[in-house]
Structure 1
Amino acid sequence: MSPHRPLLRRLFPSPVLSITVVAFWMVMSFTFDVGQLLLGLLLGLVVPLFAARLDREFARIGTLRPVPRLVCTILWDILICNLRVAAQVLGPEDRLKPAFIWLPLDIGNIHGIAALTSFITLTPGTVSAALSEDRRHLLVHVLHLEDADALIAEIKSRYEAPLMEIFP
């Protein structure tokens, strides 16, 4: 074992989290320039250091096969939901049916739950509001709710199922 391995592990406790932070920063910044990339890299270095001190439950990675499809699904959903929310906001206010729903969770890995809450919040029209103490239910606010069961099934199939493969 190299003598630098412990130092690298202390500096980069979770390379997957570092990459995720940088990727999300670049998506959220809406601009791709050197300054934003440097700031994203700095956050990708600092956030996992603090996260490692806060929670000793390290991410176990199962398979990364669902990642490309999951990324495409999220980007597509963000695009479609932006259009849908714009139409809803510009339309008659009395047509909106905001609601809170409790989403039952099958995923138990806290890192998978964190990713799920991020995906829900990144998708316009939905916000993750609370996680039950037993980590079995997630409270989600929806700007417009037609069918709670259909929304729950959609979130579980589009986001939770792939995340359960990634974070067993």
Structure 2
Amino acid sequence: MLPYPLLTVSIVLMWLLLNRVTPGHILLGTLVGIFASWSLAALRPEKPRFAKWYLLPKLFGIVLWDVLLSNLNVAGTVLRGGRSPHPPGFVTLPVESGSGVILSVMAMIVTGTPGSAWLEYNSNDRTVLIHVASLENATDWRDHFKNRYEKLLLEIFA
């Protein structure tokens, strides 16, 4: 009945935190939680398999540092009146893994970092299209991403 019970309970609790606790909201939140759980089960996401889970704090630290630096760069651009030292651009990034878990984590990292956005994954070519708000050199950005994130993610989820 409930393939993801923790998800269902979390949605109900969030629903009640955002609304008043009334019998109607309890019922509606429960229905939303159940249908969300069923929807996720229909997608059948693959389960992550950690080969080197102890590298997760290293990845977290790298991402946190890069988000901080990116926030400072975006803030600088805003304070300069929207004038960036480098023009925006698109980068096509070849990726080694076709794993949904690795691609999802990469997408979260890229999109969660201010100044960049994951736009498209091409499964035929195994490439990702990324928009970068201030792109100095596409080759350097590509190498930075592959050496800093993809290599580590391939180790973690090998």
TM-score by length of 1: 0.68
Q: What count of residue pairs does the alignment treat as equivalent?
A: 137
User: Which residue in 1 is equivalent to 2:99?
Assistant: 109
User: 1: distance between equivalents of 2:62 and 2:100?
Assistant: 21
Does residue 62 (structure 1) correspond to residue 51 (structure 2)? The answer is yes
TM-superposed deviation, 1:159: 1.1
Structure 1 partner of 2:73: 84
Q: 1:52: how far off?
A: 3.6
1:163 to 126, 130, 153: 153
* SS of corresponding position for 1:65: helix
Q: Which has the larger radius of gyration?
A: 2
Give the deviation of 1:152 after TM superposition.
0.7
Structure 1 gaps of 5+ residues are: 1-6, 23-34, 37-44
CA–CA separation in structure 1 for the residues paired with 2:125 and 2:42: 21
* Distance change (3 Å), C-alpha of 1:46 and 1:98: farther
- Normalised to the residue count of structure 2, the TM-score between the two structures is 0.72
Matched residue, 2:13: none
Superposition deviation, residue 47 in structure 1: 6.8
Shift of 1:154: 0.8
* Counterpart code for 2:92: W
Q: CA deviation at 1:90?
A: 2.2
Q: Percent identity?
A: 31
Which segments of 5 or more consecutive residues in structure 2 lack a partner in the other structure? 11-16, 19-33
Aligned residue in 1 for 2:23: none
Deviation at 1:88, TM superposition (A): 1.8
